[in-house]
Amino acid sequence: MFSAIVIDKTEEGQTVTLQQLDDSALPEGDVTVDVAYSTLNFKDGLAITNSSPVVRKFPMVPGIDLVGTVSESSSSEWKVGDTVVLNGWGVGETHWGGLSQKARLKGEWLVPLPNAFTPAQAMAIGTAGYTAALCVDALIDAGVTPEQGEILVTGATGGVGSVAIAILKKLGFTVAALTGKMSEEAYLKGLGADSVIDRAEFAEKGKPLQKERWAGVVDTAGSHTLANAIAQTKYGGAVAACGLAQGFDLPSTVMPFILRGVSLLGIDSVMAPRSKRLKAWDRLAKDLDPAALDTIAQTIGLGAAIDTAKKFMSGEVKGRYIVDVNA
């Protein structure tokens, strides 16, 4: 028997409960993992609170991240005792995820835990930090360098933003953090932000071309925030877009793209190929100080995950939440 959070659907609506399950309940897969830690992400908050139709199959165990030890394997890639990490691939949406003491998965979805991190640190990073690394890789691959100017990070107190700031600072960039939580200025500067900007300055419709300011942008917000960030990006700059915290619309024009040569880089973390995943985790191992994770993350038990997910949707959280599924 093992414990898991289970989302189900009845005639009365969606239910979310902590349950005891038998191993026979596990879905199909060629690798079984004894989970050590999972996380809570914005998408998990959407799923648990039913704020958006994230879950596609019922019953469903949420949790888009996990780290643990292989206990059974018929995959040629993994053997019993291997420590593995999973991010995305539709777990928590179409396949049972990490908010459980056990998981059965496809071996091709897994990557090895980097030696630089403990299992708990890997989940302090999680999909949010891995996505931040994908964004930084995309900006660097687009030719953005520290000498070209400031990088804007939106949603700065969130998981993606927090890790992105820490990585960018390590790489020598000057970072401006955009947030709706100006009270967290000390937290953001502790991560490496050089300046902190109130998100209200970006929240409303702006001119299609504005004063050039940013060499690059990591955006988690979408909507007017992303449109204004694009409008302020310097000639030849790049914007990595990975989120929709403000909205999924983009009320912009083609002008920044055809008059300033700005590049808009779409970042998908869910179905990213393994080569990109390994590159991102290598970036994290090299350019994220593990000590920064102590500032970014806090740990809760599996039983507290449901209530904490609700706080995500009301904007009451910052940084990363590690879930110790065995606590």
Give, as one character, the DSSP assignment of residue 54.
Answer: -
- Lowest average pLDDT, out of 45-54, 171-180, 190-199, 220-229, goes to 45-54
In sequence order, the β-bridge partners of residue 242 are none
Rounded to an integer, what distance in angstroms lies between the CA atom of residue 159 and that of residue 150? Answer: 20
Residue type, 318: K
Q: Tell me which of 3.40.50.2000, 3.40.30.10, 3.90.180.10, 3.60.15.10 is the CATH number of domain 2-113+291-324.
A: 3.90.180.10
CATH number belonging to domain 128-266? 3.40.50.720
Rounded to an integer, what distance in angstroms lies between the CA atom of residue 114 and that of residue 135? Answer: 19
Mind listing the pLDDT tens digit for each residue in 195-235? 999 999 999 999 999 999 999 999 999 999 999 999 999 99
Q: At what angle do helices 159-170 and 119-141 cross, to 10 degrees?
A: 70
Mind listing the pLDDT tens digit for each residue in 272-324? 999 999 999 999 999 998 888 888 889 999 999 999 998 878 777 777 899 99
| Predicted local confidence at residue 315, as pLDDT | 74
Q: Which helix or strand (DSSP H or E) is residue 28 part of?
A: none
Q: What is the DSSP string of 212-229?
A: --EEEEEES--HHHHHHH
Mind listing the pLDDT tens digit for each residue in 132-168? 999 999 999 999 999 999 999 999 998 899 999 999 9
Q: Where in the chain is CATH 3.40.50.720?
A: 128-266
| Predicted local confidence at residue 311, as pLDDT | 84
The chain-wide mean pLDDT, for the chain, equals 95
Q: Token pair 């953090």 is at which residue? A: 177
Mind listing the pLDDT tens digit for each residue in 122-140? 999 999 999 999 999 999 9
Question: If you count them, how many residues does the chain have?
Answer: 327
Q: Where in the chain is CATH 3.90.180.10?
A: 2-113+291-324
- CB-based contacts of 201, cutoff 8 Å, min separation 6: 178, 228
- CB-based contacts of 102, cutoff 8 Å, min separation 6: 2, 4, 23, 26, 32, 33, 34, 35, 71
In sequence order, the β-bridge partners of residue 216 are 151, 238
Contact 315, 199 (CB under 8 A): no
Q: Is 137 helix (H, G, I), strand (E, B) or coil?
A: helix
